[in-house]
Structure 1
Amino acid sequence: MPVFISYRHMDRAHAIAINSRLTQANIKTYLDVLDPESQTTDDITGVITRNITECTHLLAVVSEKTASSWWVPFEIGEATISNRRICSFRTGPAELPLYLDKWPKLSTDRDLDFFIDAYRTEGSVKRSMTLDSVTGNQSRRTENKHNADSFHEALKNRVRRGF
């Protein structure tokens, strides 16, 4: 169940810090700056799309600099199409776009801990996503959508409560 970390390159330090925190929690991640293929290919769109489809979660690092990014919204769109678990992590005082209200919005280390707990809980209750839940039959895709919605709602409520 790898987590794809989406970010604007100006926010690389935040993305690397989040990657380190998730890695320390024994969560597999994908961060393009650590991927030699994404640094050397002419087909960056294909590489990113493939890596999103190979991940179960997408965590978008969002700052005031993200507003002028084309990649972060593209990556969120790709993750949305296949019902990935999506969260944003706000850095600084940036106002987040309204379309991100659908998913949990994280902004503190504590919120990131809540994400880690939700990620682990999903795996332990056998609600975790498998890749065939995107390409499989309709009932499997419907079940995955329901599970994604449950993940998002539970995490949003926990972040809102603060515990």
Structure 2
Amino acid sequence: MPVFISYRHTDRPQAIALNERLKRAGIKTYLDVLDAESQTTDDITTVITRNITECTHLLAVVSDKTAQSWWVPFEIGEATISNRRICSFKTGNSELPEYLDKWPKLVQGADIDFFIDEYHREVSNKRSMLDSITGAESAKLFNKSNADRFHAELKNRIRRGF
């Protein structure tokens, strides 16, 4: 159940720090800057799309600089199509785009801890699946239901603060 970390390259330090925090928590991640193929390919779109479909979660690092990015919205769209668990991690003081209201918004360190906890809970309950694009319709619906559940539970935890 890897986590795809989406970010604008000007936010690379925050993405790398988030990647390290998730890895310390025992979570496998995908970060393009650490992937040799994404650094050498002539077809980055295919590499990014494939890696999103191989991940179960997408965590977008969002700052005021993200508004100038075409990749972050593209990656969120790809994750949406395949019913991935989607969250944003806000850095800086800017307001997040309204379309991100659908998913949990991580703003502080405790929110990342909640994400890590919910991720591990989902793994232990075996609720995350990867076949939502190519699988049977029942598997797609089951995965969407589980993704919606993940989003709702994480939003509630962030709202409650524990």
TM-score of the two chains, using structure 1 as the length reference: 0.98
Aligned length: 162
- Residue-by-residue CA offset, 1:33-53 (whole Å, 9 max, x unaligned): 001111111101011001001
What is the rounded CA distance, in whole Å, between the counterparts of 1:127 and 1:40 in structure 2?
35
Q: Which residue pairs with 1:11 in the alignment?
A: 11
Q: CA RMSD in A?
A: 0.7
Kindly provide the amino acid, as one letter, of the partner of residue 74 in structure 1: F
Shift of the alpha carbon at 1:133?
3.3
Deviation, 1:157, is: 0.7
* Counterpart in the other structure of 1:153: 152
Distance 1:141 1:85 in 2: 13
The unaligned stretches of length 5 or more in structure 1 are none
How do 1:15-54 and structure 2 match up within 5 A? 15-54=15-54
Distance 1:127 1:46 in 2: 27
2:103 aligned residue: 103
Q: CA deviation at 1:136?
A: 1.1
Residue 134 of structure 1: CA displacement? 2.8
- 1:151 and 1:112 map into 2 onto residues whose CA distance is 14
The CA distance in 2 between the partners of 1:34 and 1:95, in whole Å, is 29
The percentage of aligned residue pairs carrying the same residue is: 77
Distance 2:155 2:128 in 1: 18
SS at 1:61 equivalent: strand
Equivalent residue letter for 2:94:
A
Deviation at 1:154, TM superposition (A): 0.4
